[in-house]
Amino acid sequence: MSKPVANDFALVLNAGSSSLKFCVYRLTNSGKWELDARGQIEGICVAPRLSANDANGANLANDHLSDEVCDGRAALNVLADWLRARYGGSRVLGVGHRVVHGGTRFLSPTIVSQQVLGELHELIPLAPLHQPYNLAAIEAVFERLPGVPQVACFDTSFHHTLPAVAALVPLPRDMCKSGLRRYGFHGLSYEYVASVIPELAPELSKGRVIVAHLGSGASLCALNGGKSVDNSLGFTALDGLCMGTRTGALDPGVVLYLFQTLGLSHKEVESILYKKSGLLGISGISSDMRDLLARNEPDAHLAVDYFVYRAAKEIGALTAVLGGIDGLIFTAGIGENSAEIRRRICQSSSWLGIIVDDEANAANGPRISSPQSKVSVWVIPTNEEFVIARHTGLLLGLR
C-alpha cells in the first residue's frame, strides 16, 4: 500500500448483537494514532440510531435510522455512507475488529484472510453471543470495502501467558483436546491498562496487580510483571464475577438441575445464563448498575451486595494466586465511574491493607488510595479501541 496521506484513516469496529460501535483514527505526523471520531449504531432491529462525537466530545451525528437497519450488514452500510459523507476522498487504510474468541490458535492480532475467517467461525460455540456478530462485521467489510485489509484483535490473546494449571478445565483429559480450557477475556482492556502502568505507576510495573474490569461484562485479571497469570473469566465469558445479565461462577450442578429437573431446553438455559441472570436476575429490575444504585427495593440492594461480595471474594482468590498484592486498578463503566462500588469493594478488601482516600475516590482518581494504604489503588479508564488501532497499524505496516 502506498504511504498514508493526511486524511487517510483506520477504522476500529466492535460489533455486538444490537450495536456496532466504531472509532476513526488518523495517523499523526509523529506516527501516533489519534482519535478523530467515535460513535455507534445502536438499537439494530429495534429502534436503530446513529450517534457520533468528535475527539473532543462534540456531537457529529444523532440520527434515527430506517427500521430496515436490521443486521450487521445494514448497519455497516449506514456507517460506510456516513464515513463517505464525512471523509469523502480519504482512504480507509485498514479495519481493526474486536473479536471475542481467538481459541488456541490466535495468540496475537491477525490479518484476516478467508481461511482465518473460516477458523474463527469454528469458535462460535465457545462465544455464541458475541463471535457471530464480530465475524458478520468482518464479512460485511469484505463485501462493502473489498480490498481494505482487516485485522482481528482477540479478547483472549492477552491471557495466553496463563500458566497451564490456571488454564486447566478439570474434565477427563481426552475431552479437553478439542480446546476445552480456560482462555480468559477482556484481554484488550487489560492490555491497555497494563500498557499505561509503567507511566502512571512505575513502581507497579514489575509488581502483583489485580485489575478489575467492571462493566456490563465484568472480570478480574491477575497481572504479574504486566503479564496475565489468571482471569476470573474462563472457557466462556460466563465465569467469575456477577455481571449485568450473566451469572458469573455457578455450581455446575445448577445447570444440570435446569436441564434435568426443570426440563429446560439448551436454548432456554443459554438465555438464562447469558441474558437473564446476574444483576438483572437478582434484582428483577435492571442490569444497569446506575439504576440499581438509585433504587430502594430490597432486591436491588441484594443485587448490588452480591456484585460487591463476588468482586471482593475473587480479589482474595487472585491475591492468593499472586502470593500478595501491590496494586488494585479499577476500569470500565462501573470501575471508572462508580465511587460507591469502588468504596464498597475496597472496604470489603480492607483486610489486605487497602485504605481509600474518599476525596480522591469521589474525583475518580487516578490514585484513590491513601498514602497509608499498603496497596495502591487506581482508576484507569480503559481504551480497547486504541489497542486495536495500534495493532492494526503495526500489522498493516502503516507506521
Catalytic residues: 155
Least Å from the CB of residue 206 to ligand ADP: 28
Q: Which residue, 166 or 346, is less far from ligand ADP as judged by CB?
A: 346
**Of the candidates 381, 369, 376, 306, the residue with the CA atom closest to the CA atom of residue 343:** 369
Least Å from the CB of residue 104 to ligand ADP: 25
Distance CA 306, CA 313 (A): 10
Least Å from the CB of residue 214 to ligand ADP: 7
C-alpha cell of residue 225? 510483571
Q: Which residues bind ligand ADP (CB under 6 A)?
A: 215-217, 244, 288-290, 293, 332-334, 337-338
Contact 220, 241 (CB under 8 A): yes
Q: Which residues pair with 340 in a beta bridge?
A: none
> How many other C-beta atoms can be found within 10 angstroms of the C-beta atom of residue 81?
12
Least Å from the CB of residue 112 to ligand ADP: 23
Give every CB contact of residue 177 below 8 A, 6+ residues apart in sequence.
none
Contact 332, 381 (CB under 8 A): no
C-alpha cell of residue 60? 457529529
Contact 395, 33 (CB under 8 A): no
Q: Which residue, 7 or 18, is less far from ligand ADP as judged by CB?
A: 18
Q: What is the CA radius of gyration of the chain?
A: 21
Least Å from the CB of residue 286 to ligand ADP: 8
Q: Which residue, 105 or 290, is less far from ligand ADP as judged by CB?
A: 290
Q: Which residue, 231 or 338, is less far from ligand ADP as judged by CB?
A: 338
Q: Which residue, 389 or 395, is less far from ligand ADP as judged by CB?
A: 389
Q: What is the helix (H) or strand (E) element at residue 14, kind and residue range?
A: strand 9-15
Q: 327-331 and 208-214 as β-strands: parallel, antiparallel, unpaired?
A: parallel
Give every CB contact of residue 209 below 8 A, 6+ residues apart in sequence.
197, 222, 223, 224, 325, 326, 327, 328, 329
Least Å from the CB of residue 93 to ligand ADP: 26
| 375-381-387 Cα angle (round to 5) | 115
- Residue 103's identity, in one-letter code, is G
The three-class DSSP label of residue 311 is helix
Least Å from the CB of residue 384 to ligand ADP: 9
The three-class DSSP label of residue 59 is strand
Measure Cα distances from 212 to 60, 202, 281, 387 in Å: 32, 19, 22, 18
User: What is the C-alpha end-to-end distance of the chain, expressed in Å?
Assistant: 12
Q: Which residue, 290 or 313, is less far from ligand ADP as judged by CB?
A: 290
Q: Which residue, 292 or 325, is less far from ligand ADP as judged by CB?
A: 292
> Which residue's Cβ lies closest to ligand ADP?
333
